[in-house]
Amino acid sequence: MAKEYTKLVDVTKCDGCRACMVACKNWNDLPAEPEDFLGSNQSHAKVTAHTWNVLQFIEHDNSKGNLDYLFRHSACFHCKEAACEKVCPENAISYTEFGTVVVDHEKCVGCGYCVQNCPFEVISLATYKDKEGKEYRKASKCTMCTDRIEEGLQPACVTTCHPGAMSFGERSEMMAKAEKRLSEVKDRYPNAMVYNPDGVGGTNTIYVLAEKPSVYGLPEKPKVPTSAVLWKDYAQPLGKMMIGATTMGVLGMFVSYRLFNKDKEHAGGGDSHE
């Protein structure tokens, strides 16, 4: 059985170098995206279908009345109960044996339900063209470099993080490391916390945040939409059962009809023979 892995992002160590963004682009062969000037050091407003992680720059007046420059590596959280997986009608989104959440582009039909239901807004639809020039769409997001994990390697963003703001390893190890770091920074950042939301079953990208989640544009208490839970955990299984029952009923009627008429044919044939 494979081990479950978690990426730990310690924002208190991040210096905003963007090496993680470059490494992600290079490893995943993602195209460049010209962006409008945002009036700050931030290159993208948020992650996109072709930019799977973004370095956020935030100016924040802290509780002591001082100005803090905060950074956050933003990417897919790889939720343990992922809304995108629950709402996908084609089962194109799944959990790997490592705990990562990935998209199967062969199955994806570009419906966009995953985009609409992600509580973190980290999945988008990428537009492509086929040989005839017709456009089609596929869901696209960070894979946490599952292909590298399969080879015993760390995610590309982690390997290039020079201040050591990102770590990667077994989940229990990363959780313990996050709690230890939290105790170390509490004096400097009174609002610091480990961000690993229960509403999505926990995440396999966890953060040591210096401030409340809302300061970083994160939901305070994200959760899987109730509609997604009803669809995946109740409606779909019930629908399959009903379809199965209906199919068996129709098949049973067909078999009964054939047998009944076969008996009549045999009976009728016997009378004429006599």
What mean pLDDT, rounded, does the chain reach?
Answer: 87
User: How far apart are alpha carbons 109 and 138 in whole angstroms?
Assistant: 6
pLDDT level of residue 33 (50, 70, 90 thresholds): confident
Per-residue CA distances from 25 to 36, 137, 243 (Å): 19, 20, 44
Among 79, 78, 77, 57, which residue's Cα sits nearest to residue 67?
A: 57
User: How far apart are alpha carbons 226 and 239 in whole angstroms?
Assistant: 18
| Cα R_g (the chain), whole angstroms | 26
Mean pLDDT calculated for residue range 205-226: 94
pLDDT at 39: 66
User: How far apart are alpha carbons 201 and 173 in whole angstroms?
Assistant: 18
* Contact call for residues 120 and 219 (beta carbons, < 8 A): yes
